Amino acid sequence: MPDDVRERKFGAVFDWFDQDGDRFLTKDDFQALAALFERAAPADRGAAAGAIREGFDEWWRLLLAHGDRDGEERIDPQEFAALMFSDITADGNFDATVVKIADGFLDALDTNGDGVLDIEEYVRLFDIVGVPPTASGEAFRRLDRDGNGVISRDEFRLAIREFYLSGDEDAPGNWLLGPLDRAA
């Protein structure tokens, strides 16, 4: 059951990453997604945008290195899921890709520089990447674990880890892209 939950989440991530909708991930998809995330960064947050780009570049590099067996430089949904289980979520790789992007994204969207995301910043963040405000508002409520009205870096990282690593169907981090049934 836990791997079924993760497989559903990885399928949702694949669909999200497949920017051109051709059912394959390519370097162009990763560049388009990085550009989408980078647009969220204000002009004075170049380091955050750079971290986002580096994280997506590393993610793509790992996918190619471990999964592009035919040399066509594209990854299908089954290959993506297998690579997510075996390589991307491995300890060092996960921090170098997913956590790096998450930290850069949080830094980019923390518009007032207080080190946390308030509801407006959070909803804006996910609106940029295609999550409807109704879903991101509910996600914010679930991810604000201490109920103080903001999502700290630790709460955001915990949500990222739960989304990608947890097989618990009820983990609050599963709301990262909205409800799981929406993403499945």
pLDDT tens digits, one per residue of 113-166: 899 999 998 888 778 777 888 888 899 999 999 999 999 999 999 999 999 999
Q: Is the pLDDT of residue 1 over 60?
A: no
Contacts 24+ apart (CB under 8 A), 129-134: 129/16, 129/36, 129/37, 130/16, 131/177, 131/178, 132/178
Say if residue 102 is exposed, middle or buried (CB neighbours under 10 Å; 0-12, 13-18, 19+). Answer: buried
Rounded average pLDDT over 9-28? 94
Calculate the average pLDDT of the chain: 87
pLDDT of residue 2: 63
- Dihedral sign from CA coordinates of 131, 100, 72, 70: negative
pLDDT of residue 164: 93
Contact 171, 150 (CB under 8 A): no
C-alpha distances out from residue 25 to 5, 142, 179, Å: 21, 30, 23
For residue 48, how many other CB atoms are within 10 A of its CB? 22
Q: What is the pLDDT of residues 30-57, one digit of tens each?
A: 999 888 877 777 667 777 788 888 888 9
Q: Is the pLDDT of residue 183 over 60?
A: no
Contacts 24+ apart (CB under 8 A), 158-165: 160/98, 160/99, 160/102, 163/9, 164/6, 164/9, 164/84, 164/88, 164/89, 164/94, 164/98, 165/6, 165/89, 165/94
pLDDT of residue 126: 78
